Amino acid sequence: MRTPALVVCTLALSAATAGCGIFGGSDEEPADIHVYSARHYDLENAFGEFEEETGLKVEFLFGEDAELLQRLETEGEGSPADLFFTVDAGNLWAADQAGVLDPVESEVLEGAVPEEYRDSDGSWYGLALRARTVVYNPDNVDPSEFDTENTYAGLGDPKWQGRLCMRDSTEAYTQSLVTALMESYGRDEAERIVQSWLDNDVDIMSNDILLLEAVDAGTCDVAIVNHYYLARELEEKPDMNVELFWASQDGLGVQLNLSGGGVVTTSDAKADAQQLLEWLATDGQDAFVGDNHEFPVNPDVKPDEAIEAFGPFEPMPIDAEAYGRLNADAIDLLEEVGYE
């Protein structure tokens, strides 16, 4: 078997249509599968295992979702990409709408990925799940304080005044949460919820790690984060004074989002690309989700111990079309109420 020698390139903002798009170098053995990926977490280990098992060489181009989608559209027939990976169900829907993904008929994928986590026509398949839920400092918060039916909305209660930390409006995680609220409750109610967070003097931060550190330090009592950030932090700092609370378990459930991908329409290696996609949904599920502590989409694969310790939860249904279709409206809502 070939020793894995994955080639990784990062797409800079200024390189959206040039330069960084050349995979490998003149002395590199040509790759069998070229991957455009907006998912930056620990892909090398998973795809290294795939290389060892199959002998197929994988190369990457990393970038932001919108940049990579624009690049695929700009490159058209000349794109070297075979697979497109993205985070956020709305981005998967948007890629399908842009016509850059080729429907895949696969009994393997249909058997491994539940219907609610894949496109009905097979244009994209979810591979990993991330839950965006509440964390709190147990010295300052009793879990009985949370509204178990509408936990996200409940953080607008005046009792949380000056106690909240949340992500900024430019982050897809924030936008997808607001989109989910809009789809569930309607725009007016979603606006009321976001405004209630602002009325409670929410402290807005630029990443989830800062949120967790603030909760740990007692600067904030409560925050909304992706579950895997807490799992990763607890690995390094097991004494971190932060607990997780599964939101809205007597209501709609915890908001989930997808990391997934599909075969690029213009790929000249579609069979190999499909093989990689199938491997990631089956034999490679542990490797793909485990290093980042995400939940597997494949029901036959158990979550790793770190996140299994958080306990079971009921999820909110994922509507990829709504996430994509309403994203611009969510951004407008956040801007209108002054959520930065």
**pLDDT confidence tier of residue 19, bands split at 50, 70 and 90:** very low
**pLDDT confidence tier of residue 324, bands split at 50, 70 and 90:** very high
Amino acid in position 262: G
Q: Which of 41-50, 60-69, 171-180, 188-197 has the lowest mean pLDDT?
A: 41-50
**pLDDT confidence tier of residue 25, bands split at 50, 70 and 90:** very low
**pLDDT confidence tier of residue 29, bands split at 50, 70 and 90:** confident
Prediction pTM value: 0.89
pLDDT at 317 over 80: yes
pLDDT at 3 over 80: no
> Mean pLDDT score of the chain, rounded to an integer?
91
Confidence (pLDDT) at 48: 87
CB contact at 8 A, 227 and 244:
yes
Query: pLDDT per residue over 173-192, tens digit each?
Result: 999 999 999 999 999 999 99
Which whole-number Å values give the CA distances from 225 to 15, 20, 113, in the listed order?
A: 31, 32, 25
Pair of tokens at residue 305: 């111990």
Q: Which domains does the chain have, with CATH numbers?
A: 7-128+258-303 (3.40.190.10), 130-255+311-337 (3.40.190.10)
Q: How many CB atoms lie within 10 A of CB 13?
A: 8
pLDDT at 301 over 60: yes
Q: What value does the mean pLDDT take over residues 194-200?
A: 98
pLDDT at 14 over 70: no
